[in-house]
């Protein structure tokens, strides 16, 4: 089963005031602190460790976590031997895999390109060719030749190099310096299984990242030939075949455990932080926490299928707590539209209950069950939040307009709609949706005033502006035309024409179109039933009656 390792990510950010802070992010929290100068003050490491310990995931002796040192950190942080430190009384090497210059890349096992090994080790000392014969015969590992290395590298997924390391870099079997060529493309991952003398492998790893290699695995110190062999055998063991549905990082973590020395290896560059189905949602959290704001795809255009899939991910164990915190509020808001049974569950685990989005969801849930007093309390709470964005304030004003309309206070609603129109949106898309929603409020406001012919005009304008004619506005046209006919404001023929169009829509619908939310089919049925009752149209009564078996309303739905 796919799983994601816990992590602590560290990166730098320059504030406008000129101060540099270090960020500490895990799946639960995001905190900042002033940047300790590890290069000028070695004691700063000891002072920083308690802060790091507080950010570490709860200890699990059975699993390691990832310490992600992102590229913005200075070289003194990248070169520091974190593995040799003690954290909370335990060696860090026994707790964490350290990933330097860490970036998030989705890295499933490489398919289509073989794994190759380059043996630069003196054969008299250790024969990797003999040791790896089972892997070679099985086709899981191929040999790379130094004379054709550039060509082999371009056609390789994982390149594993066994060699002696010196202070100036890799050496071949004869003790001569060996320089890796630059291939196009470079292998996705290169394993530098050589002793790291005076940081030479650190330098080479960073050079390889700059040349296009996504990930480099290198030694942190001395590494014996038997240890090198065990790492490779662990990586390609039958339980961790490269083509199985597990992340590369999970396979590497298992290989490291079998390497004998927990201090042996470190990772440079890209890593797969989350191979689970929830990864796209957690990645949005990662990007947002790093200041790369992405608009969450949970809005007015979210379909029922998309809502249910997002709800499943948000309530799974694979979702980070930080991810749930921002996902649950808009899901509660969308549940009122798509799936009423989930509203109770989402109301009890709504993430950040004081955020503007959470309060918006609670407002919708309260309105759905007719609890207008609770809805008003939530609105009062939301409108008091300081520094609301234009969109957040507009959402609350729209909810307040709905409250006044539902309570038959059209003049109060008119004043709020005017305030909503005064909101200034920079995004043309936001302005479109604001204008679109106001047409709906004005139509229902005029209906409350008794001016049903004007209400019908507003709803007809809304239908013309709709990007898709899904039937929702048509249902409202029939409602308003029906009561307008009863009030003597709308001709009977106009109402009958809308009723005929609704009946045609329903003829192409099935029971599968009815769900647990505010489906358009239900709106069309209610509108047609109202018209058939008001006009005693037997044909339309028969159409509405054919749906009675599917028309049961849930106990918690007030209409």
Going from the C-alpha of 254 to that of each of 84, 241, 258, 438, the distances in angstroms are: 20, 12, 7, 58
> d(Cα 230, Cα 250) in Å, to the nearest integer?
17
The alpha-helical segments, DSSP class H, found in 217-355 are 225-235, 248-257, 279-289, 304-314, 321-338, 341-348
User: Is the separation of the CB atoms in 171 and 197 below 8 Å?
Assistant: no
Cis? peptide before 99, omega within 30° of 0: no
The proportion of the chain whose per-residue pLDDT surpasses 70, expressed as a percent, equals: 88
Res 212: pLDDT: 94
Res 554: pLDDT: 47
> d(Cα 112, Cα 275) in Å, to the nearest integer?
19
Residue 33 backbone phi and psi in degrees, to 5: -155, 160
Among the listed residues 15, 17, 34, 33, the one whose alpha carbon sits nearest the alpha carbon of residue 25: 33
Collapsed DSSP state (helix, strand, coil) of residue 47: helix
> d(Cα 417, Cα 434) in Å, to the nearest integer?
10
Own/partner pairs, 361-364, CB within 8 angstroms, 24+ separation:
361/328, 361/329, 361/330, 361/331, 361/332, 361/333, 361/335, 361/336, 362/332, 363/396, 363/399, 364/332, 364/333, 364/335, 364/336, 364/399
> d(Cα 319, Cα 268) in Å, to the nearest integer?
26
Res 515: pLDDT: 65
What is the H or E stretch that residue 440 is in?
helix 428-449
3-state per-residue secondary structure call for 517-552: CCCHHHHHHHHHHHHHHHHCCHHHHHHHHCCHHHCC
Going from the C-alpha of 468 to that of each of 339, 462, 471, 524, the distances in angstroms are: 22, 11, 9, 16
> d(Cα 192, Cα 221) in Å, to the nearest integer?
12
Question: DSSP character for 260?
Answer: S
> d(Cα 208, Cα 159) in Å, to the nearest integer?
12
Structure token pair of residue 75: 């070289």
> d(Cα 4, Cα 64) in Å, to the nearest integer?
11
Residue 291: which region, alpha, beta or left (left: phi > 0; alpha: psi -120 to 50)? Answer: left
Structure token pair of residue 515: 């769900």
Res 275: pLDDT: 87
Collapsed DSSP state (helix, strand, coil) of residue 49: helix
Question: DSSP character for 177?
Answer: B
Collapsed DSSP state (helix, strand, coil) of residue 100: strand
Q: What is the pLDDT of residues 86-127, one digit of tens each?
A: 887 888 887 888 999 999 987 655 556 889 999 999 999 999
Residue 215 backbone phi and psi in degrees, to 5: -140, 140
Tokens 């039937």 correspond to what residue? 471
User: Is the separation of the CB atoms in 196 and 202 below 8 Å?
Assistant: yes
Structure token pair of residue 466: 């709709």
Res 61: pLDDT: 56
Domain locations in the chain?
A: 7-104, 116-265, 388-449, 450-559
User: Is the separation of the CB atoms in 419 and 410 below 8 Å?
Assistant: no
Among the listed residues 222, 217, 213, 221, the one whose alpha carbon sits nearest the alpha carbon of residue 234: 217
How many Cα atoms sit within 13 Å of 176 on the Cβ side? 4
- Which residues of the chain have a pLDDT value below 50? 1, 240-246, 259-263, 553-556, 558-559
The alpha-helical segments, DSSP class H, found in 236-278 are 248-257
**Neighbouring residues of 521: CB distance < 8 A, sequence distance ≥ 6:** 471, 506, 509, 513, 514
How close are the terminal C-alpha atoms of the chain, in Å? 44
Max Cα distance, the chain (Å): 104
> d(Cα 33, Cα 286) in Å, to the nearest integer?
19
Res 246: pLDDT: 47
Structure token pair of residue 391: 């969109």
> d(Cα 422, Cα 435) in Å, to the nearest integer?
11
Describe the strand order of the beta sheet including 265-271 as a list of residue ranges: 30-34, 20-25, 7-14, 65-69, 96-104, 265-271, 215-219, 189-193, 158-162, 116-119, 142-143
Q: What is the pLDDT of residues 284-321, one digit of tens each?
A: 999 999 988 877 788 878 888 999 999 999 999 999 99
Q: Which residues of 202-216 are buried (b: 16+ CB within 10 A; e: fewer)?
A: bebbbebbeeebbbb
Which CATH number is correct for 116-265, 3.40.50.2020, 3.40.50.1460, 3.30.420.40, 3.10.640.10? 3.40.50.1460
Res 238: pLDDT: 60
What is the H or E stretch that residue 479 is in?
helix 472-486
Q: How many Cβ atoms are within 10 Å of 457's Cβ, its own excluded?
A: 16
- Please state the separation of Cα 324 from the chain's center in Å: 10
């Amino acid at each position: 089963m796919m799983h994601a390792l816990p992590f602590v990510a560290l990166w730098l950010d320059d504030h406008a005031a000129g101060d540099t802070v270090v960020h500490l992010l895990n799946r639960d929290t995001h905190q900042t602190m002033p940047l300790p100068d590890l290069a000028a003050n070695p004691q700063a490491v000891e002072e920083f460790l308690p802060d790091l310990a507080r950010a570490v995931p709860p200890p699990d002796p059975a699993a390691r976590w990832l310490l992600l040192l992102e590229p913005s950190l200075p070289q003194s942080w990248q070169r520091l031997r974190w593995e040799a430190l003690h954290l909370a009384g335990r060696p860090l090497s026994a707790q964490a895999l350290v990933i330097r210059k860490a970036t998030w890349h989705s890295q499933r096992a490489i398919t289509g390109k073989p794994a190759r090994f380059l043996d630069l080790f003196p054969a008299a000392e250790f024969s990797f060719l003999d040791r790896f014969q089972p892997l070679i015969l099985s086709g899981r590992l191929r040999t790379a030749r130094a004379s054709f290395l550039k060509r082999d590298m371009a056609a390789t997924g994982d390149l594993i190099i066994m060699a002696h390391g010196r202070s100036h870099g890799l050496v071949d079997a004869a003790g001569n310096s060996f320089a890796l060529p630059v291939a196009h493309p470079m292998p996705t991952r290169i394993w530098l299984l050589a002793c790291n003398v005076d940081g030479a492998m650190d330098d080479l790893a960073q050079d390889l990242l700059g040349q296009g290699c996504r990930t480099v695995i290198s030694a942190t110190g001395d590494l014996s030939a038997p240890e090198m062999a065990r790492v490779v055998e662990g990586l390609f063991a039958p339980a961790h075949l490269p083509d199985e549905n597990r992340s590369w990082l999970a396979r590497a973590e298992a290989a490291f455990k079998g390497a004998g020395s927990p201090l042996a290896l470190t990772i440079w560059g890209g890593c797969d932080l989350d191979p689970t189905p929830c990864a796209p949602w957690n990645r949005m959290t990662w990007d947002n926490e790093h200041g790369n704001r992405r608009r969450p795809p949970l809005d007015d255009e979210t379909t029922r299928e998309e809502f249910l899939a997002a709800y499943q991910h948000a309530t799974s164990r694979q979702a980070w707590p930080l991810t749930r915190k921002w996902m649950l509020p808009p899901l509660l808001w969308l549940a009122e539209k798509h799936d009423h049974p989930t509203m109770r569950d989402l109301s009890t685990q709504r993430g950040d209950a004081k955020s503007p989005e959470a309060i918006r969801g609670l407002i919708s849930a309260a309105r759905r069950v007719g609890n207008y007093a609770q809805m008003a309390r939530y609105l009062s709470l939301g409108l008091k939040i300081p520094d609301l964005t234009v969109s957040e304030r507009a959402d609350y004003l729209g909810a307040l307009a709905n409250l006044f309309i539902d309570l038959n206070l059209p003049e109060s609603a008119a004043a709020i709609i005017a305030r909503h129109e005064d909101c200034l949106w920079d995004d043309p898309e936001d302005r479109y949706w604001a204008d679109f929603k106001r047409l709906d409020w004005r139509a229902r406001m005029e209906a409350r005033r008794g001016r049903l012919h004007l209400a019908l005009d507003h709803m007809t304008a809304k239908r013309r502006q709709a990007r898709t004619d899904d039937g929702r506005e048509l249902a409202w046209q029939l409602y308003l035309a029906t009561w307008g006919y009863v009030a003597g404001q709308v001709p009977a023929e106009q109402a009958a024409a809308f009723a005929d169009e609704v009946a045609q829509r329903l003829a192409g619908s099935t029971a599968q179109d009815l769900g647990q939310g505010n489906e358009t089919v239900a709106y069309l049925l209610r509108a047609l039933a109202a018209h058939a009752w008001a006009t005693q149209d037997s044909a339309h009564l028969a159409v509405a009656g054919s749906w009675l078996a599917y028309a049961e309303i849930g106990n918690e739905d007030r209409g």
